[in-house]
Structures are given as structure tokens and as C-alpha cells.
Amino acid sequence: MSLIFDKSVENRKNIIFPKCDVEINLPDSPKRVKAAKLPEVSEIDISRHYTYLSKRVHGVNSGFYPLGSCTMKYNPKISEQLASLEGFTKIHPLQPKETTIGCEEVIERLKNYLCKITGMDEMSLQPAAGAHGELTGMLLIKAYHMHRGDDNRKEIIVPDSAHGTNPASAVMAGFDIINIKSNENGMIDIDDLKENIGEKTAGLMLTNPNTLGIFDTNILEITNLVHEAGGLCYYDGANLNAIMGRARPGDMGFDVTHLNLHKTFSTPHGGGGPGSGPCGCKTFLKDYLPDTSNEKSIGRVIGYYGNFLVIVKALTYIITIGTEGIKNASENAVLNANYMKAKLDNILPTAYKGMCMHEFVVSLEKLKNNTGVTALDFSKALLDYNIHPPTMYFPMTVHEALMIEPTETESKETLDEAIDIIKEIYNTALDDSDAIKNSPISTPVGRLDEVYAARKAVLRHEFEA
Amino acid sequence: MNYPKDLLYSKSHEWIKYEDKIVIIGITDYAQDSLGDIVFINLPEDGDEVEKGEAFSDVESVKAVSDVISPVTGTICEVNEELLDSPEKINENPYDAWLIKAKEVIDHEDFMNAEEYEVFLKKQ
Amino acid sequence: MGTFIPNTNKQRDEMLGDIGLNGMDDLFRDLPSRCIYNDMLDIPKGLSEIEVVESITKISKKNKVFDKILRGAGSYNHYIPTTVPSIASKEEFLTAYTPYQGEISQGILQSIFEYQTMICEITGMQYSNASVYDGATAAAEAINMCVDKKHDNVLIAETVDKRIIDTIYTYNLGKNININIIPMKDGELDKNALKDMIGDDSACLLIQQPNYYGILEDVDNIESVVHNAGVKLIMSCYPTSLGLLKTPGEYGADIAVGDGQPLGLDVAYGGPYLGFMATKKSMFRKLPGRIVGQTVDCNDNKGYVLTLQAREQHIRREKAGSNICSNQAHCALKIAIYLSTLGKEGFKEVAIQCASKAAYLQNELSKIGLNLVYKKSYFNEFVVKCKNRDDILKRLEENNILGGLPLDNDKILWCVTELIKKEDMDKVVNIVKEVNDELDI
């Protein structure tokens, strides 16, 4: 597996630029002494290098990708095509306003639709990712209390099942974290909440359905308790795919929310970005949104207007599926998850009872105790069947957790095939646990030594002197 | 698991050794085993203050980070910098791989001896 | 109308039957009725593919695409080689998630490892992360790396792009950090003011190179003032300029950040861009975000994996240094392809052409009375003062040319890239002359 640098041959080049048509005239300023050791590779070798790399990547187009909490739904080709129109890609962000009416229309329309979907009144599309949207939301809450002159509100309440970005974002905004417990049904322990709410509460961060894929039926009581104590309620929109078109965070008592366009709204994950994490709020908070023309605003959270081309893709998706499609998407996502859950129930019981929403969490603790096969081992075995594993070891409240989210864009045949494969792996685990523990065997590399990576910290190629 | 008899132990799994007025602190065999393969340790600096019950360091494994709690209140006079490059020494020999030495120790937690610590561990 | 749901009604009924439910609404029977939104959302009905293409294309046509762009100020219209969109559009690269399952993501991991190496090479620094959202947030994160309990005073040059400074203020809204702006003098950082304002509690100085006005700062002197005071130096760089200019590594900067947009990303109305972050060896464990490291698998084969994750939010939660949990992976891929295609020589060449062409335009403009406001060395952006500024810009736009950015008091910040030909610049000069002649009569 050679690096592109290994394919370098001195003086090889691709002719991109014509000869300079003016006299060479360089600034009178210190120049670099050591040239950058960039590759010198011809186009054919660049092309082959990346083709080789692409064959060692599993994308949504490669096979089933039931990665819980990530909503790996199909990325429509139409979005890619329209986001590459010159009328979008070649627009400089600082062009005169009258020449960017189309871009502003894209932004306004998406804001409008996202507000309608979430029951919020205003939206900022600046945040570039979910965590970025969370930070923005936390800063809105901070600004709100600061403006009220209430300096005592330093605490944000977060359930123990929350995604790590929740407390991290709140701390970045200068808050302290109060963790509250989940009850035996996987929902928020109301008594624990009541004990921890008070004058210091700035707000609560919640996702609903929660990270177990369960809709917290006490949600109205929860948001009411927080409001009564003088706090605000923040909705983490990571799981919106379960309820969009059927329920809105704005109706559940949430004041601020963020969305993940790269999850719920089908924009491609790109191997880890770019995504987009719009942040929305009710009217009483709108003056705080990132918008440099308003003096109460928290200020910008990014250089320009947000990940514009990602915004184009999300808008394309929404106008394609339309109002009826929004609801169709969520209900089919929930159907697919419940179908898989029901079919797997006898071998992989869900961590909590009852109907799940768009994802469900199973525990492999029993299998581990009987055979030594862990959630990690099970996941690695799936790799040999060309299935991307579910999310492992999250939420932390379940031991040996696997979080499965099929999404609505998978067909029944794909689900049935995956169910059969999971059963096969399970049975193999009972008969021949070593086979599972030795997997994967058919992937380009086997299990990777993460300890070695962290200790040695080789983070770049080193060139020979 | 091994717990040398000439050392003292804290509830947060540090071992303590007195050399005259200097206190030497490390983490126990139980602690290093729970953490798994240690990949990095964040150490304070010579001259920093430590306070009993407060974290003075943290230890990273691949999947987790754990605080190391100071069992004493005092001033750091030496830091085991070798561990910055070779954190695995903590796994290999936790009682050799001391983390810090402290002087002017004015307060400390209630310590256990080796026997008491083993009993305490059984209850974990 | 358009749908990406393959299951037919018949299949859905079968599935409902298998679960023991009667209809789709049964899936939601546990939801409290007060939470249910009973209307259809006030969003238009769905469309067929042809209608969607028509609709969005129509919107795109409401924007004006300029033939020639002479405006920079943080977003640069450079040539993007054909390899970049072609290779980056491979579905695997586009549709994969973050490479947490290393065994099936070696392609992505290796491409990020190569990107990290290239960023180190162009900046002259030792370690790079896998990228953050953009140049502005990269600067904010870099400042966060330098601040600690004893050093909570942050110094920022006034000559840094205001967008970056604003972002830093926002990121520090929650914190007890003092931000002090070092004033500018004649287009560059006022070094005397810096000496006055630097102190024992200073965490870092952030400068931009070239600065917002295109001027090349006197980094050698700045660096010695900063490091003599025990303070860290963060340089926000225009990466294209590094094909030519002394690098942050060579200057001894502690952290190099910047926006990677000029390296193969469309101007695209501001995003997606990419923030790069690279450091000296001593600071790499403080780098936020994802990092790819080299390792071996169980059969001793070389491989790559996301590493040092114990710094990150999903493990540290409230103790994480930053909440960031994504990188701009697909943008980083494009940048790696761009830098590979240009190669060692091309990367130098593009910088040489930008500088030379900018010098040409600046000279020609000065011959007709548009003089430099700051008479200092610049890379490919410069500020001139000009009467009839707005009329000039308007006339240029009518000729499909986006002129420089209007600043206060009749100033224009021009930018020239390798895409601007000599004849384009001659045309610009003629248009300026024409407008001035018309208006002076």
C-alpha cells in the first residue's frame, strides 16, 4: 500500500499552467528555503492511486450501513449534480448582493423549510457540523441569560445517555455539566431531574427519541420543569429522522435546536465532512443568532455563510421528497428499524422494552458471558459480509451495545439479507467463537493496533533526508 | 495483582511512599490494569501545587482518559518525565514508574496499608 | 413525489404484519398525542427529478457568474485541475462515514494521512490534524490551544481579517479571556504597540500572512518579540503564498492555521471550505479534532487508523478541549489531489504567477493614478485608493469582471490569481481609464 509520495519521480510534472504572460516579479520579502516535498506524480499514476484507495473504502454505495445515530441514508445523485452547477460553485461570497440573489434564495428557502419541519421560528445555516450547531445553540442560551442579567445560571443538564458532543459543546460555551440518570425504561429519571434543577439551571440538552431510539413520553413534563425553573430547552436534532413530519421539537417545549443536514437531509458524509448543522430557535431568541447586523447577536461562528453547497444539496432533497415525503421518510425509517428489531429479538434482545423508533440498541453482554464474543468482535465479523457495523459501545449506559439504524432508504430484501447474516454470525459465535474473534479476514487489513498508533504517534510520512 | 508492603495506598488507587519529607506518588497495579494499555500521560510541572482530592494528572488509554487524584496537598519538586515518552512503563511496573514527588506536604488523605488496600479492592 | 424509499406498499404491509401491527400509525402509538403534529407541513409537495432539476437550475441562474474575478479577501478564485472533481466524485469517497472501522476505510485514512503530510510540508510545521471547518474556526481553536489558567490574554493583530476576529470573539463568549487587538500602522502590525501590549499573562499572538490588506508582515521581528516574552505565535496563512514565501515553520511559529479553500475548493458562496491546523512537535497533543496515525494490523501489515481519540469529545465528554467531532474530509481529499496534481513545481509556479501578475496590475494601475495605499511588500493582493470607485466597479461588472473589494474611503482591495491573463488586466486598466475620463469631463 504505497503512499503517493512513494510514487514520486523527480521532475515528473503535469502541465497545468501556461507560461507566465507577464515578467516574473516577486515581492521583496523572505522566501521559503526548503521547498515543500509535494509529490511529483503524473496524472495516470495519481488517477490509479486514488482508484486503488477508493477500492479500500466502504461507502453507502458499497453496502448496508446501519450505523446508529448517523442516519446513513442514500445520498441522491441529483443533489451532487445540482450542487456542482456553475451558478453556485463559481459565486464569490463577497459579490455585490444583487448578483447573488439565487444563493440568498437557496438559503432563505432552506431556513424556511427547516423551521417548518422543526417548529422553530428562525434558523442560522452558519454552523458547519452538528457539534458546531450545538455550540451555537449553547451560546444562544448563554447570551439569553447574560442579557437578562442572570449570571448565576451556569449549569446545563445532560442525560447520561447523551452523545459526547453535548457536554463538550456546553463546556465550550462556558457552562458546567450536570449529568442525570436514565430510568429502567431508558428515559430520563424525572426524580433525578427534579433534584438537579434550580436557579443555577441555564438549560437542558436532550435528543428525542433518545440515543436508545426510544421516544421519551414524559417530554412535555420534562421541558415544562426546565422552563418553570427558568431554564431553556435544547433539542439535539441528530435523531430527527424518526419523527420529522409527525412531531416537531418546537411543539415539545424546545426553544433551541440544531439539525444535521448530513444525517436527516441526505447530504453525503464525505468520509467525515463537510456536513452542516443549522441552529434554529423560537422568536424570543432570534436576535441572538449569528448575524453580524444585530447588536445582540452572539456573532458569527464561521467565516462566511455556512457550507453553502451542502445547503444546496439539502434543499434539493427537501423539494424532491416534498411535504408528504418528509413524513414518509420518518415512518419508513421507524418501520425498517422495528422490522429488524422484531426479527432479531430472539437472539439479540433490545436493551429496553417497547417499540423503538428509527434505531434500536441491542446488548451483547449475554453473548460475551457465554462465548467471550464481544460487540467489537461481532462488528468485525460483519465486515467480512460487506456490511458496515452498527455503532459500537454507545450509548455508554448499555454494556456491549450495538446501535442499529437501517434508515428508510433500504429495501426489505437488504434488511432480510442483513438479518440472515447477523443470525449466521450469532450461530457461529456459539459454535466457533474463535472464528469471530479472528475476524475480519477478507478486508484489506486486519484489526489495527490502536495502542501502537497512539504510543508511536506517527502522524505523517517522513521523507529521507 | 501485587501490592508491596512498604507502600501506602489511597482510595483513588494511588500508592504513596515517604522518603524523609518527600512524598513519592504513583498509581497501583489495579489502576493500571483497569486502564488498559496506557498511551499517554499528562503530567504537571515542577513547582506546581497539588491539593488532596484534586486531579493533578490524567492518563490516556486508547478508549478512555482517567484523572489521577492527588492524595496529598503540597508542592511538586520532581516529575517523572521519562513517562512522557514511555507511558507503557506504568503498565509494565507501576511501582517503579512513579509520577511525581512532592515536598512541603501539609495535608493528606487517610492512607491504607497493603492489607487494607487489598480488602478495599475486594469490595470494588 | 420523489422518493428514495424502495419498499412498495405491499412490502410495507408484509413488514407491518411481521411485527404485528396494522398500519404505519401504530408505530407511533406510544407518542403522546399532544406531541403529534396533525397537519401536513407547510412545505411544497414533492417533485419529479426533471422538475427538481428545472427548479434548482432556475435559482442558480439568478446568480451572476463572473468571467474574471479580481476579488479575494479570504476567498480565492484559483484554477482547479480536472483531476480534483473527477477523482473526488468517486462514490466511495463521497458516501462513506468517518473511518472509525479502520479495516474497511484504509482508502480514506490513507488519503488523510497523505493530506496531513502535505500540510506539514507546505507550512513547514511538524504535525497536522485532519482539518477543521474553516480558516476562521481554525484560528479560534488555535487560540484555545494556547490559553491556560495563567495565560488568559489573547493578542490579535488588527490586520487579521475581521471575519476571523469576529469568530474568535464568538468562540470566547463563554469564557473569561481577554482579547486585545494590536493596532495596525501603515497597513501592517504596529510592532511598538505589540511590545507595549505583550505581557506575562499573554497566551499568544495571532497574525495573518499576508494580512487582510495583502501586506507581508515583518514576521522575523514579530517572532522575536513574541518568543522573547514567552508567548506563542499563531500564523494564519494563505496557503498558495507558501509556494514562494518563508513558511510558518521557518519563522518558528508555534501553530500554523489557515483556510485550504485556495487549494482546489470552489469559491462556492463561502463554503464548504477547510481549516488546516499544524503545529510544532511540542504542541501536537493539544490539536483538536481528528488525526490519522500509522500503525500495523494483526498480521504486521502497515495500516492507518484514527488515533489520539482520547482527546476527543466522544471519550472526554465535558473534559474535551474542543467539541469538534468532524473534519472536512472530502475537502481534505480534494486538497490532497490538488497538491498532488500540481506537485512540487506546480505549487511554486502558481505562487510565482500570482505574485508577478499582481505586480503587473498594480504597476499599470499606478501609471493611471491609482496608487498603493500601503507602500509595502505584498503577495497577490494590494489596496489602492481611487476616485469614482463605485462607477469603476459597476462598469467592470457590466463587462463581466468582478473587481477588487471596496473598502472604506474609496479604497479597493485587488486580488490577482494565475487565472487572470495579461490581456484581462490591460482591459481592466482601460476600463478604469475610460470611466475616469468620462467622469472627469
CATH number of the domain to which C397 belongs: 3.90.1150.10
* Residue C279 shares a structural domain with residue C332: yes
Tell me, yes or no, if B39 comes closer than 8 A to chain A by beta carbon: yes
pTM of the model: 0.94
* Residue C326 shares a structural domain with residue C366: no
Cα(A266)–Cα(A268) distance, integer angstroms: 6
Q: In sequence order, what are the beta bridge partners of C294? A: C304
- Indicate the pairing of strand C188-189 with strand C202-209: unpaired
Residues in chain B: 124
Please name the residues in contact with C45: beta carbons below 8 A apart, sequence gap of 6 or more.
Answer: A322, A323, A324, C1
What's the Rg (C-alpha) of chain A?
Answer: 25
How far is C310 from chain B, CA to nearest CA, in Å? 6
Chain A to chain B Cβ contacts (< 8 Å): 14
- Best A222, A320, A330, A451 member to test C by mutation, with max C CBs in 10 Å, is A320
Let me know if residue C182 belongs to a domain: yes
8 A C-beta contact, residue A449 and residue C301: no
Of the residues C311, C338, C365, which one is the last residue of a structural domain? C338
* C-beta neighbour count of C354 within 10 angstroms: 29
Tell me, yes or no, if A381 comes closer than 8 A to chain C by beta carbon: no
For the domain that residue C311 is a member of, what is the CATH number? 3.40.640.10
Cell representation of residue A419: 438479518
Cα(B94)–Cα(B83) distance, integer angstroms: 11
- Best A23, A33, A117, A304 member to test C by mutation, with max C CBs in 10 Å, is A304
**CA dist A432 to A35, A368, A384, A429, A441, Å?**
56, 13, 16, 5, 15
Q: What is the pLDDT along chain A (465 residues), one digit of tens a residue?
A: 799 999 999 999 999 999 999 999 999 999 999 999 999 999 999 999 999 999 999 988 899 999 999 999 999 999 999 999 999 999 999 999 999 999 999 999 999 999 999 999 999 999 999 999 999 999 999 999 999 999 899 999 999 888 888 999 999 899 999 999 988 878 899 999 999 999 999 999 999 999 888 999 999 999 999 999 999 999 999 999 999 999 999 999 999 999 999 999 999 999 999 999 999 999 999 999 997 578 899 999 999 999 999 999 999 999 999 999 999 999 999 999 999 999 999 999 888 878 899 999 999 999 999 999 999 999 999 999 999 999 998 887 888 999 999 999 999 999 999 999 999 999 999 999 999 999 999 999 999 999 899 888 899 999 986
Residues in chain B with CB shorter than 8 Å from the CB of A451 are 37, 39, 61-62
Cell representation of residue C402: 468582478
Please name the residues in contact with C37: beta carbons below 8 A apart, sequence gap of 6 or more.
Answer: A119, A245, A246, A247, A248, A251
* Residue C138 shares a structural domain with residue C240: yes
* C-beta neighbour count of A395 within 10 angstroms: 23
State residue B115 phi and psi, 5-degree precision.
-65, -50
Residues in chain C with CB shorter than 8 Å from the CB of A151 are none
Cell representation of residue A341: 428489531
- The fourth-level CATH superfamily of domain A333-453 is Aspartate Aminotransferase, domain 1 (3.90.1150.10)
Let me know if residue C124 belongs to a domain: yes
Instruction: Give, for A205, the enclosing helix (H) or strand (E).
Output: strand A201-206
Per-position b or e across B68-95, b if 16+ CB within 10 A of its CB: bbbbbbbebeebbeebeeebbbbbeebb
Of the residues C338, C371, C389, which one is the last residue of a structural domain? C338
For the domain that residue B53 is a member of, what is the CATH number? 2.40.50.100
* Residue C137 shares a structural domain with residue C271: yes
Let me know if residue C23 belongs to a domain: no
How far is B68 from chain A, CA to nearest CA, in Å? 19
* Residue C284 shares a structural domain with residue C140: yes
**Cα distance between the two ends of chain C:** 61
Structural domain harbouring B41 = 8-119
**ipTM of this model?**
0.97
Instruction: Give, for C249, the enclosing helix (H) or strand (E).
Output: helix C248-251
> What domain count does chain C have?
2
- Indicate the pairing of strand A155-159 with strand A122-124: unpaired
Q: Give the three-state DSSP class for C304.
A: strand
Let me know if residue C19 belongs to a domain: no
* Residue C403 shares a structural domain with residue C259: no
Q: What residues does each domain of chain A span?
A: 1-54, 78-318, 333-453
Across the interface, whether the CB atoms of C271 and A106 are under 8 A apart is answered no
Let me know if residue B2 belongs to a domain: no
* Residue C263 shares a structural domain with residue C312: yes
Cα(A126)–Cα(A290) distance, integer angstroms: 7
* Residue C153 shares a structural domain with residue C296: yes
Cα(A106)–Cα(C193) distance, integer angstroms: 45
Of the residues C314, C338, C362, which one is the last residue of a structural domain? C338
Q: Which of A397, A394, A333 is nearest to A359 (CA)?
A: A333
Q: Which of B120, A274, B71 is nearest to C93 (CA)?
A: A274
Residue C104: which of A269, A307, A443 has the nearest Cβ? Answer: A443
pLDDT digits (tens, 9 = 90+) for C322-374: 778 778 999 999 999 999 999 999 999 999 999 999 999 999 999 999 999 99
Cα(C27)–Cα(A336) distance, integer angstroms: 11
* Residue C200 shares a structural domain with residue C98: yes
* Residue C317 shares a structural domain with residue C420: no
Cα(B2)–Cα(C21) distance, integer angstroms: 58
- From the number of C-beta atoms within 10 Å of its C-beta (0-12, 13-18, 19+), residue A381 rates as buried
8 A C-beta contact, residue B93 and residue B64: no
Instruction: Give, for A140, the enclosing helix (H) or strand (E).
Output: helix A130-147
Structural domain harbouring C179 = 83-338
A96 preceded by a cis bond (ω within 30 of 0): no
Let me know if residue C197 belongs to a domain: yes
Cα(C358)–Cα(C393) distance, integer angstroms: 18
Tell me, yes or no, if B60 comes closer than 8 A to chain A by beta carbon: yes
* Range list of H helices, C75-218: 83-88, 91-95, 106-123, 135-146, 162-171, 191-197
Please name the residues in contact with A171: beta carbons below 8 A apart, sequence gap of 6 or more.
Answer: A177, C318, C319, C320, C323
Tell me, yes or no, if A91 comes closer than 8 A to chain C by beta carbon: yes
Q: Which of C335, C353, C365, C363 is nearest to C417 (CA)?
A: C353
- Best C309, C314, C318 member to test B by mutation, with max B CBs in 10 Å, is C309
Q: In sequence order, what are the beta bridge partners of A234? A: A205, A256
Fold type of domain A78-318 = Aspartate Aminotransferase; domain 2 (3.40.640)
